[in-house]
Amino acid sequence: MIEIKIPKEVRSYKETIFFGLTLRQIICLSIALSINVPMYIFLKPYIGDEIASWIIMFTGVPLFLIGFFKFNGLPFEKFALIVLKFKLFIPRKRKYKVENIFTDIAAEQNKINIENLKKTKERKKIK
């Protein structure tokens, strides 16, 4: 009997074109290879293998992430924008300030009581 795999969620289906890669992944991989291979060939004689390979990694990883990284259904560029907005524009510590009316009333009442005590002591001294 022939079995066909049907994804549980139809929207999660991705059409694979070549070696199980989607069109987005193939485009990002080809861009990364077309930038990084010539860069490595031209940089290697001037700065050496190790530093050239580090430069290639730093330029290739963002392209690789754009093609292959998904977090909760979000592509990398949308996810990166959300993270940047959270880290840069939203304050880390939330200020929590309580305004308790009863403590204000109690402080005013204490001031009034202290003033009344001073007045009564002054009256007793005068008599």
Q: Which tens digit of pLDDT belongs to each residue from 33-86?
A: 999 999 999 988 899 888 999 999 999 888 888 888 888 888 888 888 998 988
Residue 82 lies in a domain: no
Position 95 scores a pLDDT of 74
Give the structural domain span for 49.
10-76+88-126
Residue 1 lies in a domain: no
Residue 71 lies in a domain: yes
Residue 28 lies in a domain: yes
Position 12 scores a pLDDT of 64
Position 38 scores a pLDDT of 92
Residue 2 lies in a domain: no
**Residue burial 73-102, b: 16+ Cβ < 10 Å; e: rest:** eeebeebbeeeeeeeeeeeeeeeeeeeeee
Position 25 scores a pLDDT of 84
Indicate if the pLDDT at residue 15 is higher than 80. Answer: no
Please tell me the least confidently modeled range out of 69-73, 104-108, 113-117: 69-73
Indicate if the pLDDT at residue 11 is higher than 70. Answer: no
Structural domain total, the chain: 1
- Distances in Å between the Cα of 64 and the Cα atoms of 20, 38, 41, 51, 109 are 16, 17, 20, 20, 68
Residue 3 lies in a domain: no
